[in-house]
Chain A
């Protein structure tokens, strides 16, 4: 279960999740994509499947009256028992976390009592793991008790902004130079890129035996994450949502995505990703089932000095329906003629 993903060296899984940046300089060993647990699960599946198949074959044989009393029934019972045992040992379906349903942001349901202070101070595409740690330290510090939430918010945001900007490489700075807002592709209804695929709108997750489908209301997008153990497509053309494979690790769905076409990252003025962008997402549902945490680690050796991990929380909202997202081209015209002489 250890060292499941190590995009930047020999970090333990805990190190990777909590202090990914400390591991960044160690090496650049490609991460193994399938964990040992995943292998055990697949083996368990195989044993269970074989046993059930064998039991069915003997059941067919036992339908012949001649053989029935000659030992078929005891053999059938033994095999059925072993099938049940093997099935019980194979945690494939039972252990798979249930992530299904509609998950919404605070913007969509601002009055929901499940939102915590932390969700207001640091949540979403701009909230780095480092910023969250900083926020928690601030909130736990009695010296901050007299400060207003607004002051804390300012302090925490300033920290997070500087943290992300310090990650940018010289190459990234070069790409963002000369960027003008009127050149933002979204002005022409070009959908936002991978790192902002969900936006503030609801998402719906559906889990199947061999894949997970994530439907984003934002830009009416659907993304398929293959969980059947396959490798990335060898000849995948760069695309907006890339090529995703995933696996389950305990109560978390881990998704690795490559083949993402460069796009504005939305972390700073004109910041862009490169074709070497690789993203790891951890989808974890809370114990009470009401919240979904999406921890996203962006690895882009061209644009970022170290990986950037952001954290987003959504709440379960079965009563919400996804709406159709239609981009209106009048938006484009709205930006053009208004500059005051």
Chain B
């Protein structure tokens, strides 16, 4: 196992998920991001959340066991996941939310394989940017946004009076 372990707490935000199957807010720090790189030891397509078990090497060289928690089987199968989408021994880079209590748990948003394949379908899919939303999906949203702005400009529609409500 030559898995490399890296931990990056990115204070940029991303995740107030549209859906979470249990209380993701109480399990995970949704305003932080973590990256874990390691080797898959087990992959379980189970409900309520699909689980990826992996071993990662800490900065001091110790092997640490991690669990990456994803979406439910019903969601992932519908977006193309299969029981063998991940295999034991595969090297992966997992991006997600760190646990609140310091356990080696991560709520994954994307899983990147060694060959560069990125698997989507994590819980925090409402996040924009590099996590959770595929480039194609992101581009479609940017196009929609552009069209929305153009239509507003052409119609001469004025913004509602006053600033957005604060409460």
Q: Are A331 and B49 closer than 8 Å at their CB atoms?
A: yes
Is the beta-carbon distance between B167 and A180 smaller than 8 angstroms?
A: no
CB < 8 Å: which of A153, A200, A268 contacts B21? A200
Whether A110 and B137, one on each chain, are in contact in the complex, defined by CB atoms closer than 8 angstroms, is yes
B interface footprint on A94-119 (CB within 8 Å = 1, 0 otherwise): 00000000000111111101001100
User: Please, how many angstroms separate the alpha-carbon atoms of A121 and B16 in the complex?
Assistant: 10
Contact of A140 among B12, B75, B134, B152 (CB under 8 A): B152
**Residue contact A340 to B148, C-beta cutoff 8 Å:** no
Across the interface, which residues of A come within 8 angstroms of B145, CB to CB?
117, 149
Interface Cβ pair total, 8 Å cutoff: 189
A200 engages B72 (CB within 8 Å): yes
Please, how many angstroms separate the alpha-carbon atoms of A179 and B101 in the complex? Answer: 11
Q: Chain A's interface: helix, strand, loop or mixed, by majority? A: loop
CB atoms of A107 and B75 under 8 A apart: yes
| B22 & A192 in contact (Cβ 8 Å cutoff) | yes
Contacting residues, chain A, for B164 (C-beta < 8 A): 134, 137-138, 141
A66 close to chain B: CB less than 8 A:
no
Taking a contact as CB atoms closer than 8 A, the residue among A126, A137, A148 that contacts B18 in the complex is A126
Q: Are B74's CB and A108's CB within 8 A? A: yes
Q: Is the CB of B148 within 8 A of A326?
A: no
Closest A residue to B19 by beta carbon equals: A200
Interface size on B, residues (CB 8 A): 69
Number of A residues near B (Cβ < 8 Å) is 72
- The answer for the CA separation of A335 and B103 in the assembled complex, in Å, is 9
B141 lies within 8 A of chain A by Cβ: yes
Instruction: Give the docked Cα–Cα distance between A154 and B46 (Å).
Output: 31
Instruction: Let me know if A338 and B19 touch, CB within 8 A.
Output: no
Q: Is the CB of B16 within 8 A of A338?
A: no
Q: Closest Cβ of chain B: how far from A268's Cβ, in Å? A: 6
- Are A323's CB and B19's CB within 8 A? no
Contact call A331/B48, Cβ cutoff below 8 A: yes
Most buried by B among A106, A157, A182, A186: A157
Q: Is the CB of B141 within 8 A of A330?
A: no
Assess whether B10 is interfacial by the CB under 8 Å rule: no
Alpha-carbon distance A326/B46, docked complex (angstroms): 8
Residues of chain B within 8 A of A323, CB atoms compared? 73-74, 77
Contacts of A142 in B (CB 8 A): 152, 159
Task: Given the known inter-chain contacts A200-B71, A338-B65, please indicate yes or no for A186 contacting B48, CB distance below 8 A.
Answer: yes
- Near B by CB (< 8 A), chain A positions 242-284 give 264, 266-270
B165 CB to closest chain A CB (Å) equals 6
A200–B70 CA distance with the chains assembled, in angstroms: 12
Q: Which residues of B contact A338 (CB under 8 A)?
A: 65-67, 103-105
Distance to closest chain B CB from A153 (angstroms): 5
User: For residues 66 through 87 of chain B, which have their beta carbon under 8 Å from a beta carbon of chain A?
Assistant: 66-67, 71-75, 77-79
Contacts known (A145-B149, A338-B67); A269 close to B19, Cβ less than 8 A? no
* Residue A2 is within 8 A (CB to CB) of chain B in the complex: no
A199–B19 contact, CB under 8 A? yes
Q: Which of B92-148 contact A (CB under 8 A)?
A: 99-105, 120-121, 125-129, 133-134, 136-138, 140-142, 144-145, 148
At the interface, yes or no: A124 with Cβ under 8 Å from chain B? yes
Roughly how many angstroms separate A184 CA and B136 CA in the complex, as a whole number? 36
Least CB distance, A58 to chain B, in whole angstroms: 56
Indicate whether A241 reaches chain B with its CB closer than 8 angstroms: no
Chain B residues whose CB sits within 8 angstroms of the CB of A14 once the complex forms = none
A26 at the interface (CB under 8 A from B): no
CB-defined A-B contacts under 8 Å, sample of 11: A107-B71, A140-B160, A149-B142, A150-B14, A153-B126, A154-B13, A218-B21, A269-B23, A320-B78, A328-B47, A338-B103
Q: Which residues of B contact A (CB under 8 A)?
A: 12-14, 16-27, 44, 46-49, 51, 53, 58, 64-67, 71-75, 77-79, 99-105, 120-121, 125-129, 133-134, 136-138, 140-142, 144-145, 148-149, 152, 157, 159-160, 163-165, 167
Question: Which 6 residue pairs across A and B have the least CB separation, nearest first?
Answer: A328-B46, A157-B16, A137-B164, A186-B22, A150-B128, A200-B19
